[in-house]
Structure formats: structure tokens, C-alpha cells
Amino acid sequence: MKANVYVTLKAGVLDPQGETVKRSLHLMGNDDIEEVRIGKFIQIKMRNQGLEQARRQLEEISDQLLANPVIEDFRVELAEGE
Amino acid sequence: MKFGVVVFPGSNCDADCFYTAEKVLREEVEYIWHQNNHLPAVDALIIPGGFSYGDYLRCGAVARFSNIMPEIVKFAENGRLVLGICNGFQILTEAKLLPGALLRNDSLKFICADVYLKVENNNSPFTNAYQPGEIIKMPVAHGEGNYFCDPETLAGLKNEGRILFTYCGPEGESAAEYNPNGSLANIAGIVNKQGNVLGMMPHPERCAETILGGTDGLTLFNSICGWLRKADSK
């Protein structure tokens, strides 16, 4: 089964990379862009198992390693099969 | 007295720390490989700077799960001295031995420069040989040294005197222009609640001999040695 984990900086944590990209987008003429936040997208392939169990495991590994809860939030997306 | 220098794949200040302990302090010192499951008998641990595990995922995130880490955590919880420099500081926050996290520098640039620091608290195992409020100069070299924590944690750090070093100007001025990385409250180094674990971005081992351009870092190592000797004679 496959999973996608999205790791993003918490609201209130400054994202200088996002700010720089936003400035660049403004320079390109995209005045309507109000905010840019940059995060990580992690693709995971794992052995098939119950959805609930897989989700629990993915949330655990996201909390322990994939994201740092002090500064980041994460979201797990799970797809069975394939 | 014996120091231990922990070596991860990608550590690159380990030899400098080893050299400082052996040749400058003239104390015993041993390298400790990250795959070891136990610590040798040492009095203080140094987690050196570098790019452990290529800084993959987040600086220090992968090092936290290496074999030696549970031993380091135990060592720290027993009140023994642990000094994390640069990447070592990042590893200590990832391992939850120190609060907060180190974000990308606000300039997005890797900074390699000498900076001025103010000794905010000299009543610690790591700073007792400095004068109160002493202004010192140390090199920094990092891309992720922008200290961040939540407001409650920051209040705790301040109230408990756990901020040992802050970035400042040559006369001790505290201003944004002297903060090289955007660090919260100009924080350059903090200790844990018990005061036995220090994490700092500047490199004391790079200014521990006159030939290196200064000895302000040597004072930190002398503080550690003095403190250990005093603890030993009690």
C-alpha cells in the first residue's frame, strides 16, 4: 500500500524560503500571491495491512522522525492496494 | 579527566574537539562511534559540529536514532556534562535533551563568520571561568542556527537563567543587526533544566588557541575542567 505524508511548518514559524519565493513571484508580476509556505512531501510504500493499523504506524513515524512537532505539522494520506 | 567525542557519519569538527581536549587541555579523550551501544567511562561528552547523516530530513533528525543516542540520553539524565556544538546542538534538540528547534537562517545563507557573544549566565559548569556579562568572540558556521521555541519555553529559559550565550555587538549591544541567523531573543546557547546539557551554535573549539585567532573558546573548556575537578574533590 502507498501513503503520502505532508510535512509543513506550523503557523507562526517563519518560513524564510517561502518568503523569498513569494518575493520572487511578486517580481514576476504575480501581485495576487499573498503567502507561500514550503514544506516536504514524502512518498511511502509499505506492506499491505489494515488501514487503521497502517495509519497509526504512519502517524507514529511522522511524529517521531518525519516531522519535528516543535516546528512542523504533518498530514497522512493513505491509499490501499497498488 | 576524560572527554568523549561522539562521531556520526558526516561529523566534521570531531578532530578539532579531540585536538582541543588532547593538545590544548592536555586531558584524556576518546572518539565514540555512533554505532556503539555503550559509552566508555568519560567525564564529559562532546557532540561535535558537522553534517551528521548529510543533514537529511532535518539537521540532527537521523542522528537521534543512532545506536549511541539512548546511552547519551542516560548519561545526560544522570547529570553528567554534555556539550553539543553546532550540529551537536541540533542533535540535542531533536533528541529532546534541549527544548526548541533550529530553523534555517533567516537570511537563507550559510554563515561563516566571527560573532560577538554575551555571557548571560556565568553560574554554570560551562561558563564559570567567564566574567559575568563578559563579551567574547567566537566563530559560527551554519545554515540552520535560527533558534525557535514557543513563548512559554522562552519564558522558562529566561526566568531560569538557561540562556548562557546571546549574540551581541562588540560592546555588548543587543540588536537585530548583530544576530546572524534570526535566532529568537538572540539566543546562541542554552542549557537544559538541570543545567548539565549545553547546546550552542558558535564553535568554542575553533578559538581555543592563540594561533587560531583567539582563546575565548578555551575559557569554556576551562570552565568544564574546573567544574569537574571541583565536583571530583567534593
Of B94, B104, B150, the CB nearest to A17: B104
Closest-approach residue (CA) in chain B for A40: B57
**Distance (Å, whole) CA B203 – CA B32:** 20
pLDDT band at A79 (very low <50, low <70, confident <90, very high): confident
Does residue B46 carry a pLDDT above 90? Answer: yes
Q: Where are the domains of chain A?
A: 2-79
Residues 6+ apart with CB under 8 A from A13: A71, A72, B103, B148
B-chain CB neighbours of A68 within 8 Å are 58, 61, 94, 101
Q: What is the mean pLDDT of residues B102-108?
A: 93
Task: State the cell numbers at A40.
Answer: 516536504
Mean pLDDT of the region B83-88 = 98
Task: Answer whether B100 sits within 8 Å of A68, measured CB to CB.
Answer: no
ipTM, 2 dp: 0.83
Running DSSP on this structure, what letter comes out for residue B105? P
Q: For the structural domain made of A2-79, what CATH number should be given?
A: 3.30.1280.10
Domain ranges within chain B, ordered by starting residue: 2-233
CATH architecture for segment(s) B2-233? 3-Layer(aba) Sandwich (3.40)
Q: Which positions in chain A touch B70 (Cβ < 8 Å)?
A: none
Please answer yes or no on whether B103 and A20 come within 8 Å at the CB atom: no
Residue A80 has pLDDT above 80, yes or no: no
Nearest Cβ partner for B104 among A16, A66, A70: A16
What residue type is assigned to position B206 of the chain? R
| Nearest CB to A13; choose among B61, B65, B148 | B148
